[in-house]
Chain A
Amino acid sequence: MRELIKMVVVLTVLTAVSGGLLAGVRAATKDRIELQVLTLVKGPVLKDIFKDASNDFIADRFTVTHNGEEITLFPAVIEGKVQQVALSASGGGFGGDLGLMVAVDIDTGKITGAGVTTHSETPGIGSRAKSEPDLTQRFVGLSVNETFKVKKDGGQIAAISGATVTSRGVCAAATNAGQIYSALEGDIKSKIESLSL
């Protein structure tokens, strides 16, 4: 009986201590990990679509709540004022969820740039959605209020040949991003004004 109690006590204390320790470390590293992910996963894509921006758009990021979910937005200062804002959304690709960063002009509501951030598509086929900007370039100039579809499904976007499913995923992600942006447009604009960038 004593042995049994000892076993229970030792295991309980051990797991409790390690759980507490890990929770502490997690809390301490959370912000740094988020920054690392932003700089190394989203940073390169953001740099591509915000070529003219003069601010540090990762440091200037802000969040807006959408249906109880926090959406992170990246403002780009061009010629002294915030002209574009980027947000990411996901869509189902061939190998899983596909993350797309979409930049929107806040005056016209048109897409000014897009780029794939994370994906698990087939290397050399679906992965071209990220490595070759052809597909994502086709969204430039289109309105955020549109529902994007590949031409095969009666839409306006020419798919990557051999990677229709991936292209559909990119379209779905762009549509999601557009819907989120449209729903939050007012919030985003007031937030940008309060930021005084």
Chain B
Amino acid sequence: MAKTVVQEFTKGLWAEIPPFRLVLGLCPVLAVTTKVENGIGMGLATTFVLVGSNVLVSLLRNIIPTKVRIACFITIIATFVTLVELLMQAFTYSLFLQLGIFIPLIVVNCIVLGRAEAFASKNKLVPSIADGLGIGVGFTLSLAAIAAVREGIGAGTLTIFGNTFVPFGDAYMPFAFMVQAPGAFVCLGLMLSIMNMLEK
């Protein structure tokens, strides 16, 4: 483990960017990316859970018995998710209404459990924080990017923090397919192929 903290952080932004490179956690990726705002909100909620669970798992890695580690990880993750849910209800209620069921579903997001199992349970505190933060930011950016393409093409608008932009002008006729569920698969596939092309 000769990687520096910076490397642990930046790997989440390109080399291991969650929905594209790890191809994990696709449920929220496909479901909430109909609006840029929702994508960012979901990404930030997941980032909070990721960093929180990575910190605790890393701190407790020598205490948690190997045989019950998954149960312990899930308890930690579920605690953070419930925390996020309560805080979102208290402070950003309208966003909570938009994301609804997908907030409690962060518990079963493979990215969070994946980072706890594959990284935080084997590494010290600081690299674990960097890892959680990097993957979280990468996840947020990916969600925002997918949402921007889907909302821009599918609805002809971009909603960011309550402000709505019209990228192609009012004359643009929205291609509604993109904001529906199949459009999410098509969009994800196309973006993944573009990333692969850039890699070569």
Contacts and interface: CB of A to CB of B under 8 A. Distances in A.
A and B together in one complex = yes
Interface of A: 3, 6-7, 10-11, 14-15, 18, 21-22, 25-26, 29, 32-33, 36-37, 40
A32 B86 CA distance: 10
A170 B30 CA distance: 35
B184 to A, nearest CB: 20
B83 A40 contact: no
A22 B79 contact: yes
Interface range on chain B (Cβ under 8 Å from partner): 20 to 34
A36 B71 CA distance: 34
Contact of B90 (A3, A7, A15, A32): A32
Given A32-B90, A33-B89, A36-B89, A11 B82 contact: no
A14 B86 CA distance: 20
Interface string B109-122: 00000000000000
B97 to A, nearest CB: 8
A157 to B, nearest CB: 29
A15 B64 CA distance: 13
A11 B93 contact: no
B71 to A, nearest CB: 6
Nearest to A39: B93
B79 A18 contact: yes
A25 B93 contact: no
B44 interface: no
B76 interface: yes
B194 to A, nearest CB: 34
A15 B75 contact: yes
A3 B66 CA distance: 10
B76 A11 contact: no
Nearest to A35: B90
